Structure 1
Amino acid sequence: MRRPLSPEDHKISFTQFVFTIYKTQIGIGILTLPRDLVETTGTDGWISLLIGYAIAVTVSILIIAAMSKYPNDTLYELLPRLFGAWIGGGLSLLWIGYAAGGSLVMLLWSIHLTQVWVLPAISSPTLMFLFVLPICLYTFHGLKLVGRFGEFVYLISFWMPLSLFWGLKDAHWLNFLPIGHNGWVNIILAVKTTLLSFLGFELAFILYPYLTEKKRAIQGVVFANTLALITYSIATVISFLQFSEETLKEYVWPSLVLLKLIRLPFVERFEIIFVALYLVILFATIVPYLYMAAMGANRLLRTKNHRYYTIAFLAGCVVLSVLFRPSFWQLQWMGRQYGKAGFLLAFLFPVFLWLWGIGYRFIRKERHP
């Protein structure tokens, strides 16, 4: 029989806080972002990336500012406190659906990526079953293990973006000129694409109450977003230097195409090894979102264990993989819908929550001076 989780099972260190957010942000985006940007704004996409980073950092700081007024509350306690039981419960349900949707979309993308690049003969249900086992184990044992998993994934994968520098040996620096040639309108339009790549910082809503060094929370979210910016910049800039705009539009996974250029005497197809290891990074995105959803369901229904919801969700994913095998275009559609939800909940909602919290405290102060 499993022991119940203790408060110590949820305490996380500063580095666990940083790397959990960072590794959640680096999902499928690093593989597709260069193509997504070039379709909207050409090689000026790096400017959009910097603007998106600034917005993500600002919203992350607002999340910490809102949570710091109620340091022991997660999002699921804060919403009923500020909005009442019914509205707060409804908003909690939206966040649970958002987090569960993020886990599902990333699981389906992981299976698709594996079938295209590594194991084309393995069926979707088989891969889903193999994937949910480690995900289930890491989600079961509290937030501390989720944080340790983020640290572990960073330590074994920090070299992976650096391997893209191999593409610089045939770089075409003139691809960047003239700067701004697609116009500022397109640069601004591409900012939304970059914002979605920074999704993951909203995990601060559930991580902050368990952070042992709350005074460093703002430093932590800035550091996590900066690491994400560096990683995305490496993939984006090197792709722009290696490929022309028209060529880049033809590649679905431009970062993986860059890896095909690597030739080692003892490895024929380095990109296959890269994808196999990259699955661990994708799991580091799935696990925190799944934990966020399971925690929310546990708090909303006032039960004692989040594990039941984890098992139910992952069992549903296995059944879904038997009944539904999405194509690449269906996965893209699902990603776009999830991106819309992420824009509303991760970027707009924290601003609203911060303003609402200020008004709520002002009214209480007026009523109870």
Structure 2
Amino acid sequence: MDSNIKENFQVGPPMVFFLVHAIQVGVGILGFQRVVVQRTGYDGWISVIIAGTVFSLALSMMYSILRAHNTDIIEIHRRLFGKWLGCILSFLMVLYFFALAVLVNRTYVEVVQVWMFEELPPWVLGMISFVFFYYLILGGFRAVVGLCVIGVVLPSAIVFILLLPLEYAQFLNLLPIWKHSLEEILLGAKDTALTFLGIEFILMFYPFIKNASDSQKWAQLGHWVTVFSYTLLMFVSLAFYSEEQLNRTIWATLTLLKVIELPFVERFEYIGVSLWLIIIAPNIALALWAASRGIKRMFPIRQRYALIFFLTAMVVIMPVFQSRQRIDQFNDYVSNVGFYFLTVYIPLLFIIQLIVSKRSKNNDQKG
């Protein structure tokens, strides 16, 4: 493990539960139903479970790779592919982490613009994000973990609130089960990729976990709680909306909140949008931390300066995505990159690791 990580900078294995669950639940939960239902209709919940299972297997492969080297992905790339190719692969991964931070931030700004402040320029929230995340990440990895804990615990009440629309539910919509072909179900599972992205950050923060090899059960628990949450929300949405309504509703989860009526709150969805800031903040913080940490590990640059660069770039890039079409295209691009990273690159890296380990073992036996 990276010897530079002192014990007072590390966190216990149970914290991995909050890290994994917090990074997976973000802006994707606001409207993933429409994307899945377009291919699978009322069988969408099956696609969610299949996607969760595939990503769980990818998580197990990542832990196998990390245990073999006991360090982060930057050093693993260097050991397996050499200095130059390893650096290129690591740099591409850093760009992917940064793209995730921009995607989450820009998507949330769009939600705020549509639902609350239509004329709010993207750079305003971008500047607020700059200051907040700069000081948070400078506090170190433990500060980011604290934000993840808050991002899981405080908004947890929303899960129960989202069950209230079941008063108008029609569960017969879900029958008969499996009306679509296996190909359509699998394509629907692929479309849920953005909602489950985030488990790959374990490749960067693994050295910051005490007894990291024992944390896999907590990572899997965090992931499966996410799968359960998305499946439950998909059930609620399929029972509440018609298939045609879901195809036309961009943010189905937020629209569910409009149904809720409380005597002291007229527009409950405003509270939902505000609370979602607590949910998406860990997404952005961990992505920026991983990107800046990756630059520090590859080049002789302090993490503070790398963080300033990424935060500045995020503020500059956000106004570029003005239209819904551009934001959707960016969502699709990042989602596809994340999907192939977890379902193609990680298994490939896992196989390469097995081959290298076997050769090393044979060499040791011959020696």
TM-score exceeds 0.5: yes
Structure 1 residue 54: deviation in Å?
A: 0.8
Task: Kindly state the Cα deviation for residue 217 of structure 1 after the two structures are TM-superposed.
Answer: 2.0
Corresponding residue SS for 1:302: coil
AA aligned to 2:111 is: L
Q: Which residue of 323, 339, 358 corresponds with 1:327?
A: 323
Query: Counterpart of 1:43?
Result: 42
| Counterpart residue identity of residue 310, structure 2 | F
Tell me the residue number matched to 1:362. Answer: 358
| Counterpart contact for 1:15–1:151, Cα < 8 Å | no
Q: State how far apart, in whole Å, the 2-side matches of 1:115 and 1:138 are.
A: 25
Match of 2:283 among 260, 285, 295: 285
Task: State how 1:1-369 maps to structure 2 within 5 Å.
Answer: 7-8=6-7, 10-71=9-70, 73-303=71-301, 305-321=302-318, 324-369=320-365
1:366, CA displacement in angstroms?
2.9
SS of equivalent residue, structure 1 residue 181: coil
Preserved CA contact (<8 Å) 1:62 1:350:
yes
SS at structure 1 position matched to 2:264: coil
Determine helix, strand or coil for the equivalent of 1:350: helix
Alignment deviations for residues 326-348 of structure 1 (CA, whole Å, 9 cap, x no partner): 21111010011101211222332
CA gap of 1:325–1:94, structure 2 versus 1, over 3 A, is: closer
Counterpart-to-counterpart distance in 2, 1:215 and 1:293: 23
Between the aligned residues of both structures, percent identity stands at 26
Q: How many residues end up aligned between the 2 structures?
A: 362
Q: Is the 8 A contact 1:9 1:145 kept in 2?
A: no
SS at match of 1:190: helix
- Residue 10 of structure 1: how far off its partner (Å): 3.3
CA RMSD, 1 decimal: 1.6
**Partner Cα distance (2:348, 2:139) in 1:** 33
One-letter amino acid of the structure 2 residue matched with residue 48 of structure 1: S
Secondary structure at the aligned position of 2:283 is classed as helix
Q: Which amino acid aligns with 2:322?
A: P
**Superposed CA offset, 1:59-117 (max 9, x none):** 1011001100122x111111101111011111101111110111111111121111111
Cα deviation code 1:120-142 (max 9, x no counterpart): 23221112111222122222222
Residue 13 of structure 2 contacts residue 214 of structure 2 at CA under 8 Å; is this kept in 1? yes
Point out where structure 1 has 5 or more consecutive residues left out of the alignment.
none
Q: Which stretch has the larger CA shift, 62-71 or 114-123?
A: 114-123
The 3-state SS of whatever aligns with 1:290 is helix
The question of whether the paired residues in 2 share the 8 Å contact of 1:61 and 1:221 is answered with: no
1:357 shift after superposition: 1.0
User: What code does the residue aligned with 2:285 have?
Assistant: V
- Letter of the 1:212 counterpart: K
Q: TM-score, normalised by structure 2?
A: 0.95
Tell me, yes or no, if the aligned pair for 1:41 and 1:190 is still in contact at 8 Å: yes
Q: Distance in 1 between matches of 2:345 and 2:8?
A: 29
What per-residue deviation string (whole Å, max 9, x for no partner) do you get for residues 123-169 of structure 1? 21112111222122222222111111111111111111221101111
1:249-278 residue CA offsets vs partner (Å, 9 max, x unmatched): 111001111100001010000001110110
User: Are 1:118 and 1:276, in contact at CA under 8 Å, matched by a contact in 2?
Assistant: no
What SS does structure 1 have at the residue aligned with 2:259?
coil
Distance, in Å, in 2 between the alignment partners of 1:6 and 1:88 is: 22
Gaps of 5+ in 2: none
CA distance in 2, matches of 1:164, 1:360: 49
Q: Are the aligned partners of 1:16 and 1:148 in contact in 2 as well (CA < 8 Å)?
A: no
> The residue matched to 1:121 in structure 2 has which SS?
coil
Separation of aligned partners in 1, 2:312 and 2:182: 47
* Residue pair 1:41, 1:186 contacting (<8 A) in 2 also: yes
TM-score where L is the length of structure 1: 0.94
AA of the residue aligned to 2:24: Q
Which secondary structure state, in structure 2, belongs to the residue aligned with residue 265 of structure 1?
Answer: coil
More displaced stretch, 254-263 vs 140-149: 140-149
Letter in 2 for 1:53: G
Q: Contact 1:161/1:234 (CA < 8 Å) preserved in 2?
A: no
Q: CA deviation at 1:367?
A: 3.1
Deviates more, 1:137-146 or 1:9-18: 9-18
Shift of 1:287: 0.8
The Cα shift of 1:6 comes to: 7.0
Contact 2:12-2:210 at 8 Å conserved across structures: yes
